[in-house]
Amino acid sequence: MFLLFIFFIKSSFLIEGKPQVPCLFIFGDSLFDNGNNNDIATVAKVDFSPYGIDYPGSPTGRFCNGRIIPDFIAEYLGFEEYTPPFASATDSDYLTGVNYASGGGGILNYTNYFVGHQYDLEMQIEHHAYTVSQVERILGSATQAEELLNKCIYASNIGNNDILNYVLNPILSPARRLYTPDQLAEVLVQAYSQQLEKLYSYGARKIAVFGTAPLGCIPQVLHRYPTDGKICVEWINNDAELFNIRLISLIDQLNTNLPDAQFIFINYNAISYADIIESVVSGFVVGNIPCCVTASTNGLCFRDSIPCPDRTKFFFWDNYHPTEILNMAAAKRLYNASSPLYTYPMDLQQLALK
């Protein structure tokens, strides 16, 4: 497996010619953020080294040593450039796609309120509404804008922070005082449903909805809770799965009730969990500790610290976020899924070509 990942790193994914879709829009949290938090008052930002050590140029605000999943998605879809953050978008960007993701963001508007400012999903969708207005202005009519936006890919990866705050911050999390894990999953999916329908009302039709990451396997969780002899904290993965299972049902519901809607579910938990388990068992890759030196308070890399020399042997970059190698492997599986366990009811490639 390790040699296979090295092959991925040394290979170019860029597809020559016209992109498979005219534009790509990204929503989510720190797993997808590529710089939207850089200039806002929050501790949830990483515009400093060693972040971006394997990315061309200076640190961009990606919570990673290199590329993140949206970058690889853009490559697979044939885009010559990565989707820019909304914070720096221009007229030409509005037509080809924008990234609205924000580190610390959640489905609920009070998620991570204690780390400072961030853009929750509701605000990200409002940012997209502005983008839609700009597309209408540039193209000259709402009809032309709708025709374009109907063909684009939308990817949303959100909900991780809502669940992690519930687990890791019982005192600061309002949700912890209000809901059981099952009730929280229901509240999250109900709110998410309304947000996705709003996105649909702005012209989105091809929408990839990501389930949570394997939250019980991240280093920050492993530092806090015992694993009972297992690789991950299984009860936390089980709590996250309550949300993921409901998302699958939501996908069916939205595809049935919304004309021309083509929602797909990306089982990010299954994709990543399989790689993490295999890596730890095989011994080829370090699957449960971070590559960089992290702060116990926020789990991020210390500013200007020196990370591990070979980032291809680590799955986790800091206490929360994967390295480029795991992002690369995940993107490959979700784009061209080898199993219906990874994507439902189709993979990203099929969605793009429909």
In this prediction, residue 283 has a pLDDT band, given cuts at 50, 70 and 90, of: low
In this prediction, residue 10 has a pLDDT band, given cuts at 50, 70 and 90, of: very low
Q: What is the pLDDT of residue 287?
A: 74
Q: What is the pLDDT of residue 12?
A: 40
Q: What domains appear along the chain, each with residue ranges and CATH number?
A: 2-353 (3.40.50.1110)
Annotation says 102 is catalytic: no
Residue tagged active-site, from 29, 30, 128, 173 = 30
Q: What is the pLDDT of residue 8?
A: 40
Residue tagged active-site, from 71, 128, 279, 321 = 321
Residue tagged active-site, from 239, 275, 318, 347 = 318
Max Cα–Cα distance, the chain, nearest Å: 61
Contacts of 119 (CB under 8 A, 6+ apart): 36, 37, 100, 102, 105, 127
In this prediction, residue 284 has a pLDDT band, given cuts at 50, 70 and 90, of: low
Q: What is the pLDDT of residue 200?
A: 98
Annotation says 282 is catalytic: no
CB-hemisphere CA count at 13 Å for 42?
A: 24
**94-118 residue pLDDT tens:** 999 999 999 999 999 999 898 899 9
Check pLDDT > 50 for residue 187.
Answer: yes
Check pLDDT > 90 for residue 40.
Answer: yes
Q: Which of 207, 277, 281, 203 is nearest to 247 (CA)?
A: 207
Q: What is the pLDDT of residue 282?
A: 67
**321-345 residue pLDDT tens:** 999 999 998 999 999 998 889 999 9
Q: What is the pLDDT of residue 286?
A: 80
Annotation says 127 is catalytic: no
